[in-house]
C-alpha cells in the first residue's frame, strides 16, 4: 500500500482531512480500526492535531503574503529614491565639475556604492549637505532642480527607511511562522504515518475502505 503522491502541502492537508473525516464517519472503518487502538478519542486527537496544523499553516501563508507586500513597498520606495538621487547626482557633478572641494563635500567623487546601506548613507549625506548649505542648494536650483525635489528626496529617505524596517519585521515574523508550520506538519505527518500503517493492516481486505482514507494499491 502507499499514499497517493501529493504535490503540495495544500493537497497533503486535504488528503489527511478527508482520511480523518471518513475514519470517523464510516461505521465499518471505525469498527475495524478501533480494534487497533484507534477509537473515537484517538481519532479526535488526530483531528485536533490536524486543525492546529491547518491554523498554523494559514497563519504562515498570511505572514508570507504580508512579507511580500512589505517587500514590494520597500522596493518601490527605494527605486523612487534611487532614481531621484541619480538625477540629482548627475546634475550636481556637472554643475560642480570645476569645484573639486564641493564634489568631495557631496561625496560625488570615486565609484558610487552599490550595496543598499552604503548607497543610502551616501544619499543621506548628499542631501544633508544640501540642506545645510544654502549656497549649494541655490546653485543646484538654478541647474534645473526645483526646491520641492529636495523636499521630496528627504521624504523618500524617511519612507524608504520605514518601509525597510517594516519589511524586516514582517520577514522575521514570516520565518518564525514557517518554522512553526514545518514543525506542526512534521508532527501531523508522523501521526498520519502511524495511522496509515495501522489502517493498511486493519483494512487490508477492503480496497474501497482503504481508498476512503487515501490509501491505494500499487498498480
| Distance from C-alpha of 74 to C-alpha of 55, rounded to nearest angstrom | 29
- pLDDT tens-digit series, residues 85-134: 999 999 999 999 999 999 999 999 999 999 999 999 999 999 999 999 99
Residue in the block written with cell 500499487:
218
Give the domain ranges of the chain.
7-216
Give the 3-state secondary structure of 34-92.
HCCCCCHHHHHHHHHHHHHHHHHHHHHHHHHHHHHHHHHHHHHHHHHHHHHHHHHHHHH
Are 175 and 65 in contact by the 8 Å Cβ rule? The answer is: no
Looking at the whole model, is its pTM more than 0.75?
A: yes
**Residue 204 per-residue DSSP state:** T
SS3 106: coil
- Per-residue pLDDT in tens (0 to 9) along the chain, 219 residues: 444 444 599 999 999 999 999 999 999 999 999 999 999 999 999 999 999 999 999 999 999 999 999 999 999 999 999 999 999 999 999 999 999 999 999 999 999 999 999 999 999 999 999 999 999 999 999 999 999 999 999 999 999 999 999 999 999 999 999 999 999 999 999 999 999 999 999 999 899 999 999 888 654
Amino acid at each position: 500500500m502507499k499514499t497517493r503522491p501529493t504535490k503540495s502541502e495544500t493537497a497533503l492537508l486535504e488528503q489527511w482531512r478527508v482520511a480523518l473525516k471518513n475514519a470517523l464517519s464510516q461505521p465499518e472503518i471505525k469498527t475495524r480500526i478501533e480494534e487497533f487502538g484507534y477509537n473515537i478519542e484517538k481519532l479526535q486527537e488526530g483531528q485536533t492535531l490536524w486543525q492546529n496544523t491547518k491554523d498554523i499553516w494559514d497563519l504562515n501563508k498570511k505572514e508570507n503574503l504580508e512579507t511580500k507586500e512589505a517587500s514590494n513597498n520597500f522596493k518601490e520606495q527605494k527605486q523612487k529614491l534611487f532614481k531621484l538621487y541619480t538625477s540629482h547626482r548627475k546634475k550636481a557633478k556637472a554643475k560642480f565639475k570645476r569645484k573639486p572641494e564641493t564634489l568631495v563635500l557631496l561625496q560625488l567623487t570615486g565609484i558610487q556604492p552599490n550595496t543598499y546601506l552604503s548607497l543610502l548613507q551616501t544619499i543621506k549625506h548628499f542631501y544633508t549637505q544640501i540642506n545645510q548649505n544654502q549656497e549649494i542648494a541655490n546653485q543646484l536650483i538654478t541647474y534645473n532642480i526645483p526646491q520641492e525635489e529636495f523636499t521630496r528626496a528627504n521624504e523618500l529617505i524617511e519612507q524608504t527607511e520605514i518601509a525597510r524596517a517594516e519589511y524586516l519585521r514582517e520577514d522575521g515574523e514570516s520565518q518564525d511562522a514557517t518554522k512553526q508550520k514545518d514543525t506542526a506538519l512534521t508532527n501531523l505527518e508522523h501521526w498520519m504515518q502511524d495511522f496509515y500503517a495501522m489502517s493498511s493492516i486493519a483494512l487490508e481486505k477492503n480496497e474501497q475502505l482503504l481508498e476512503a482514507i487515501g490509501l491505494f494499491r500499487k498498480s
